[in-house]
Structure 1
């Protein structure tokens, strides 16, 4: 009798406790919280998070929306719901209810939206574009009121090179005319999503919420307004995305959905960063595993895209941002590090919804023979196809960083540039490569050229005329210096004039020095010429071996042609006999140098000043 009473009391206490728990249950997160009607893929997988949410039964009652599958995982605080959206569904708020028995315990709302008109035909960036790369925290502070946000861990400190400085989306929007006037038609922003880390979170690569713009930069709506404003001024927006890792303070790191949501070890293990292991047919599994499964940094847990739920979450997130803000491009950070099959699937799923959209992958690989593994349609031995047409041209960047500092020789000086172009036979799509001299991870151009503005102008001429899509790093037009190997903070400076109270305003000619204006004006002339030059957008290349420190190449298309002459002599002006180039020059009798306006009525001899470039439009 006593035993029966004890059992009954335990049962009553259990039911009371369970009832209290379920009564208090609520959906803390629903991601994504909105989706669109009319995608080629009619299904969306919704992550639901809430204490013991898996103990409840989800239900959806909305015309045109069907709950196809409920996925429970090892953590009862998560459910994943596969919803199928019929083409005839109407925009509205889809109520997702969670029941215990017949009683609804909690609910959440998925907002169903109509796609923007012509969304699927959105054009990405291409060879007609020139890209301006901006680190948002360091460019311009349009709204000082958002510099410090209550509840966010890191506070602003402009005196700290690795601190938050206060640049934001409003500051960028205020400078769109400035960027457009320089001749740039696309902006690549380093990541703008929330990085609520205790320190050094300004760069954006330790994401703590994949659906929220960092409030110190602005809001989701302000991001959309920036993209819309850019489009009106002929500027496309490229979003920097990260699939390889998240921030250590991401909300799910305290309560992971599955043990394999991120790659875990008994203790921290850093990636070896050896990307050659991925394509190497002889690579040891241990080396390959450390490349792709090791963490990028102590604050950046390595995401496991081999987990179908992780992969789907990130793919959907990228589609959500494209549709929500109207992006024209994505730059994918650390492209070769995650599961390569998952990354190829991502490209295909994005292109299925946006056929003309552009994605460029960061594959920091110095040799074309290894880089081509990551370009679409290369006949890899293992059958892998990345589906990624556009890549960052690191071989060219590294060659350019050395070429102008060296004398001509076998494999040195301007021969480096010739040799990188000669490797274009490897690429299926060489004109889709993004060419650059520097970025937010490398040393500033003025650093490796020792502030030699003549070398900088030669590099500008090359980037503006060589095949591919040029990318420029903000502030280098001001001859900013900084050694990226020594300090990332040193190459991520504030743009003078971007903050209230700045002593100088380099957004104006009056606020720039004579040397800064010399480089700024040259860059502006080259990029604005390139903006309207079909031959530089789509033309073929013909180049001649460098001789006597002079490298000459041509871009040609139908009857149009541009001749580029680079003289790498430190002190000597060089008179060049043009008869050597008769196989193309016989079609032309004169030319005009596009940055100076100087006319060349005869194409027999041209003198190229020391350490300079000539860009001559042929007639």
Structure 2
């Protein structure tokens, strides 16, 4: 009888041990959170084998377990918490129980929110952002070029491969960027991209909560933010809401069939963005745009799923809070579900009222771009809380204005009329303007490598209304061989790798024009940095005449006059035409030469040049 009892006890122990072994937590996200957030709600995604068999319990002052939701996949639970305003920072156990028995325990932390976090300063029209493709910028730590567990290895000879640029490289370059006069850095995505190939761009994310180890660690990313801020430079995160990667961990074990659009099966996006605003568009066309996959390796996430919508929203808030971000840039903005975008943008700006967020809507039509900006009174009633959008219409008009012959509908008049469309935007002064970016041929190539036109383009972007953005290498006439091929236009920054023959940081090996371009941009950036007229001034422009275009930025305290002359000859401008702004006898400082000039009845502008005059 004693032997029988002992056998029974042994079976019970073995059974209990085996019972516990069938459960585990593979992912619990967000990994931690903060007290003192405006919204008291927190949703935890829990993923692990058969986790939905268990029921979580929490015992911590100020934290209420509001609800627990299961989905069709038994390997997921969604835990909804309410964190009271008075809750203190600390750690607590989430106990996962089967009946009354605790099977698993997970330690969760609530951190103290950084003082002033909600009212953080963000980038504005006083700033100039420097856009970096991190893999191609500077290799500051060669030891992380190849990392165990991450498939693609370093191959600098491969235009589409990983070249080794990293977070340490950006940190090492901050003094250069500050000296140049940049005040913000927008870095292409650095979250884990563990696809088999072409991962350097970062837009196919396999883990939304971890920096790709080939760039460094989460802690390195935070250090980058701190080091940048100490030099007066803010960090802007590149956010992807529309899609994940085909190798994302949840693609192997989806929470539900509707987590990914078209039930997780590839269906090509139409890329017809106007279906969003088109009152005549068919439902089929709308669906094929918003639900279709960007490419086969980027599954389109279904933000109509409430759990996914909350996950994506919390993820962005987590990174803002964790890394003390200055602002955001949102990739492929209109491709996501528009109702989700309305709620998402409101939730982020409710939590951070001063934060600036710019969305990518690659359209040359101001009516399409303006649809998304906060304050726009759309005829369909759509409400957006997005503060800013990328000004693709002005970018295209700038290239055409500089390259095309002057006519009634081309050349400078096209640039002038595009700017005249600013009445369509609620806040044109907050649009992000740029000569080029990571998806298009370099500006120097777009302008047929004409240095004079390049200087006009840069001067225009750095004196026009809006928030300027400069792509890395544009300051040294970076070229995009083979047209707009992404692998070639996202070239390695010279001097970013040991042994580089050319070094943009020291000037070694730069051509005469490359060095001159760098000096030209540095002069304008540092002049602009503390110039309230350019940052906040009003704008008046004059219809182009005979290959010249003139505009003014002005406040009660001063004026800046910009003149572009595309002609092969000197142009003589009648001062009286600009009587609202200047008079003969007025003196001004030539920003590019440092000379003082006095305006007479005629203003002589050298051939194929730009002049920037500042008047008291």
**C-alpha deviation, 1:454, in angstroms:** 0.8
1:602 maps to: 599
**C-alpha deviation, 1:19, in angstroms:** 7.2
Whole-Å Cα distance in 2 between the matches of residues 52 and 131 of structure 1?
A: 47
Q: Tell which deviates more after alignment, 379-388 or 305-314.
A: 379-388
Q: Which residue, out of 215, 239, 259, partners 1:217?
A: 215
Q: Which residue, out of 163, 174, 177, partners 1:176?
A: 174
Whole-Å Cα distance in 2 between the matches of residues 203 and 587 of structure 1?
A: 53
Q: Is the 8 A contact 2:585 2:598 kept in 1?
A: no
Confirm or deny that 1:518 pairs with 2:482.
Answer: no
1:5 maps to: none
2:27 maps to: 29
Q: Which runs of 5+ in 1 are unaligned?
A: 1-12
Q: Which runs of 5+ in 2 are unaligned?
A: 1-10
Q: Which residue, out of 312, 317, 322, partners 2:315?
A: 317
CA distances 1:117-176 after superposition (whole Å, capped 9, x unpaired): 111110110011001000000000000000000111110000001100000011001100
Q: Is the 8 A contact 1:33 1:109 kept in 2?
A: no
- SS for the counterpart of 2:508 is helix
- SS for the counterpart of 1:120 is coil
Q: Which residue, out of 588, 609, 614, partners 2:611?
A: 614
1:584 maps to: 581
Q: Is the 8 A contact 2:257 2:264 kept in 1?
A: no
1:64 maps to: 62
Q: Which residue, out of 569, 574, 582, partners 2:571?
A: 574
Confirm or deny that 1:92 pairs with 2:93.
Answer: no
Whole-Å Cα distance in 2 between the matches of residues 152 and 482 of structure 1?
A: 29
Confirm or deny that 1:403 pairs with 2:418.
Answer: no
Q: Which residue, out of 261, 274, 277, partners 2:275?
A: 277
**C-alpha deviation, 1:21, in angstroms:** 4.9
- SS for the counterpart of 2:524 is helix
When normalised by structure 2's length, the TM-score is 0.96
2:442 maps to: 444
Q: Tell which deviates more after alignment, 587-596 or 252-261.
A: 587-596
Q: Is the 8 A contact 2:575 2:599 kept in 1?
A: no
Q: Is the 8 A contact 1:26 1:107 kept in 2?
A: no
**C-alpha deviation, 1:88, in angstroms:** 2.4
CA distances 1:486-515 after superposition (whole Å, capped 9, x unpaired): 411011000111012222212112342211
When normalised by structure 1's length, the TM-score is 0.95
**C-alpha deviation, 1:412, in angstroms:** 0.9
Whole-Å Cα distance in 1 between the matches of residues 600 and 529 of structure 2?
A: 26
Alignment of 1:169-568 (within 5 A): 169-264=167-262, 267-482=265-480, 486-568=484-566
- SS for the counterpart of 1:74 is coil
**C-alpha deviation, 1:316, in angstroms:** 0.2
| RMSD of equivalent CA atoms | 1.7
Query: In the superposition, relative to structure 1, how do residues 211 and 603 fare at CA in structure 2: closer, same or farther (>3 Å)?
Result: farther
Q: Is the 8 A contact 1:444 1:483 kept in 2?
A: no
Number of matched residues?
606
**C-alpha deviation, 1:344, in angstroms:** 1.6
Q: Which residue, out of 43, 46, 55, partners 2:44?
A: 46
Q: Which residue, out of 97, 103, 109, partners 1:105?
A: 103
1:78 maps to: 76
**C-alpha deviation, 1:62, in angstroms:** 1.6
Query: In the superposition, relative to structure 1, how do residues 242 and 484 fare at CA in structure 2: closer, same or farther (>3 Å)?
Result: farther
Query: In the superposition, relative to structure 1, how do residues 266 and 108 fare at CA in structure 2: closer, same or farther (>3 Å)?
Result: closer
Q: Is the 8 A contact 1:442 1:484 kept in 2?
A: no
**C-alpha deviation, 1:587, in angstroms:** 9.4
